Amino acid sequence: MRLSGCVHLELTNDIHPPCMEIYEGSFHGGGKYRMFHSSPRIDKLTYLGMQISLELPNFTPEDIYIQEYKVGSLVVVEIDWCLGVGNRRLQSAHYCIHGEKLSKSTRALRNQLLNNHLVLSIDLKSRKVHPFIEVNYDFEQGLIIYTVMTHESDVTKKNSITEIRAKHINISISPILNIEDNHKPGDPLPFISLQSKKIYLPLQGDFIMSWLKHNTYATMYKFIIPPVKHGIFSPADFVTNKSLFTLTRPYVQNSKISELDVDISSKVSNDIRVAIMANIRRGAWFYTQYSVIPPTEDGYLHVNVINSKEKCEIYKANLLECITHVEIFQHVTHDWQYAIVNIDRYTLPYTRCQRPTKIQEAFKRIYDKDKTVYYNLNRFTKDVYINMLYNIEVHPKNNKQDSSEMETSST
């Protein structure tokens, strides 16, 4: 039995006791999720000073987990008491907080907020992983494997954690934080965002593998951060093995058309067809990439590149074009942003054995009076800008040089 140790959890505090484990996630509609656990167990729970009872008549729990679901000013708090008594392993209660009003609630409100989907993050630099994610080691293959726990239907295998994990909630792993070792203090964390249930991380290596499922097809994809060669950053599609499973293809008569918006105003992947690698620091630039993963079945994926926050349409593919990935270069100190759209372009008459021409379109973000515009650099010499962005020096002593060169080129 775990002993109580006078552990007070005030949910609105930014700083918590050192013994407190905190796991984070997200859900539909911009919702934020947190799980709290402590050893010794939590014995006092408050929200803005309002006390939420942890008393459980007739039982002394072995453990307590607190889960918080927040959307705007609405907060649902779930308390899970782990009993360890016969077949009754769990007792739960729910509370709703709206403004400064606290009231008892139900599991139904929690489910309504989640909309059947919860996304949990993992931090590659932390040994602590959300209890709903299992961690296994395959030393023969040299892999660490992160897997979303299933809601165990076999009674003999059930435990308190499998009981807490809601049966009808779909859980994904995202984002994968701290994907680089050379992260500079003060910089945003580098991460990969995708919709995955199983992540393979090599004990030695610079790549990540993940199963992604399109309808009935599940495919293992390999993700590699674009390399630095001889001190120069070499951007490339970070989903390196797409061509083994899918081929870009233009629209052909009577084929199925699927629509996809690549929204560069968000770094959260809400679609299985887009994987995002964000906040890679290279020289004086932050690099973010949106890689399009076409469905494995036949059909045409029509992609538009947008910035929904600024209400901008950046690039709209025509029916002979397939966008493979979009690259964003954001200067560290100046407000310069460039977008490179990478395209497979086909010609008529199209045949299945036809190889596409690789095309790049370059855009510069410009503030025009009260609106934002992505200016097509084809009107200038786009190759000069692409060459500059594809030859970023990454040695720290060259950062100042990068800035001055960019200043000259941007005028």
- pLDDT given at position 353: 83
pLDDT per residue as tens digits for the range 168-180? 888 999 999 999 9
Q: What is the mean pLDDT of residues 368-383?
A: 88
Burial 128-157 (b: 16+ CB within 10 A, else e): ebbbbbeeeeeeeeebeebbbbeeeeeeee
- pLDDT given at position 252: 73
Q: Is the pLDDT of residue 400 over 50?
A: no
Instruction: Flag the least confident range among 144-148, 200-204, 397-401.
Output: 397-401
pLDDT per residue as tens digits for the range 6-17? 899 999 999 999
Give the pair of three-digit tokens for residue 264.
């560069």
- Using DSSP bridges, classify how beta strands 170-177 and 117-123 pair: parallel, antiparallel or unpaired: parallel
Amino acid identity of residue 298, one-letter, is: D
Q: Where are the domains of the chain?
A: 4-114, 233-410
The pLDDT-based confidence of 396 (bands split at 50, 70, 90) is: low
Question: Considering all CA atoms of the chain, what is the largest pairwise distance in Å, rounded to the nearest integer?
Answer: 77
Q: What is the mean pLDDT of residues 287-298?
A: 85
**Residue 122, number of CB atoms within 10 A of its CB:** 21
Q: What is the mean pLDDT of residues 356-364?
A: 95
The per-residue pLDDT of the chain, averaged, comes to 87
Give the pair of three-digit tokens for residue 118.
């919860």
Q: Is the pLDDT of residue 355 over 60?
A: yes
127 burial type by CB count under 10 A (0-12 exposed, 13-18 middle, 19+ buried): exposed
Comparing 89 with 404, which gets the higher pLDDT?
89
- pLDDT given at position 85: 58
- Whether a cis peptide bond, with omega within 30° of 0, leads into 227 is no
Which pTM was predicted? 0.87
pLDDT per residue as tens digits for the range 110-127? 999 999 899 999 999 888
Comparing 352 with 48, which gets the higher pLDDT?
48
CA atoms within 13 Å, Cβ hemisphere of 391: 9
Instruction: Flag the least confident range among 209-223, 304-318, 353-367.
Output: 209-223
Q: What is the mean pLDDT of residues 283-297?
A: 89
- pLDDT given at position 5: 60
- pLDDT given at position 401: 38
The pLDDT-based confidence of 354 (bands split at 50, 70, 90) is: confident
- pLDDT given at position 160: 77
